[in-house]
Amino acid sequence: MRTLLKLALLAALIVATSSVHSTLGATAPVRVGPALTSIGPLAFGPDGVLFAADRQAATIYALNLGAQSAGARTGTADVAGITGKIAAMLGTAPAEIAINDLVVHPVSGNSFLAVTRGQGTNAAPALLRVDGAGSVSVVSLDNVSYTSVAMPNPAAASTTGRGGRTQSVTDMALSNGRLIVSGLSNEEFASKLWSVPYPFAAADRGASVEIYHGNHGQLETRSPVMAFLPMAVNGQPHVIASYTCTPLVRFPMSSLRTGEKVVGTTIAEFGAGNQPLDMIQYQKDGQSFLLMSNSRHGVLKIPTTDFGSAKGITERVGGTAGVPYEKIASMTGVEQLDKLDANRSIVIATTATGDRNLTAVPLP
């Protein structure tokens, strides 16, 4: 009897230990859908796995959407008044809908939207799909298989607003089998870039990133990267990152080692009082460009030619400086964008009435 009791206790201890390890690191694949408390940002891997950040839980989920990866038609058709359509589907008013991110599936070309219904304690996440017929559908996560990884040392869950849990993950992208993640931790040097291997293993402490902010005239370690893209600069992998007010900064991917404090090179200042919202890279006429949507400065088209040779900004800047850019006057109110195909982007833009349209736009 004592032997059986000892074996039972040992088995219980093994189960408990395994559970703790799974919570702190990466989970094994499961087929009962994730209980998300929030959703956004989103990112697709080339195989169609959807990465979805639950900021409130400081956790990233890798979702296998299966048959829900595509609607009846490939591509994405325009949807006028999409906020109202989503609100009607979710049983609420348009004012209660926030669209947190937009990404295009790499195979089906359907667009996926991370949406919040309601506000405060009543807020609930939803994932929606728009197909080539303009059909808007709610993606059910009830039986989606997934794995997840918890981000280490996030800001306290009770903290909201700038610098709080809502910025535990600000952007992410898959690059060479690693998910690059930006956000804030609760550490002294709070701004972080993590490089998490996929399939997921436990996330490490990440690299603390510091920049010189020309419009503020100072070094900053607590301002998070708001939008970024992995890209090759002078043949080497880099992260090109944008911050509030609006420095553009390059980080060599090789410098993003766990526990390191990395100083980025500020290659542009696009003006104060502005929030970068989204970024894509595209090719046109044999050249490479960034297309960046902003809260105040509209949509900027930025040639990448000088990203590797641009001198770092190390002194206060009163306006704009660094690599050149062009403001795209024809694109207004753009909040979210992704590359739809080689010639078009798909955007969510506000209208004069305050609604939002989902529209395919030629790449400028």
pLDDT for the residue numbered 162: 66
pLDDT for the residue numbered 8: 34
pLDDT for the residue numbered 31: 61
Rounded to the nearest 10°, the torsion over CA 131, 133, 136, 140 is -50
pLDDT for the residue numbered 34: 94
pLDDT for the residue numbered 19: 31
149-194 confidence digits (pLDDT tens):
999 998 877 655 566 888 999 999 999 999 999 999 999 999 999 9
pLDDT for the residue numbered 24: 41
pLDDT for the residue numbered 288: 98
Whether residue 8 contacts residue 23, with contact meaning beta carbons closer than 8 Å, is answered with no
Cα separations (Å) of 44 from 52, 115, 116, 220, 225? 9, 16, 19, 30, 19
pLDDT for the residue numbered 132: 98
* Positions of the chain with pLDDT under 70: 1-25, 27, 29-31, 158-163
CA distance linking residue 315 with residue 232, whole number of Å: 27
pLDDT for the residue numbered 159: 56
pLDDT for the residue numbered 161: 59
Whether residue 239 contacts residue 180, with contact meaning beta carbons closer than 8 Å, is answered with yes
pTM comes to 0.90
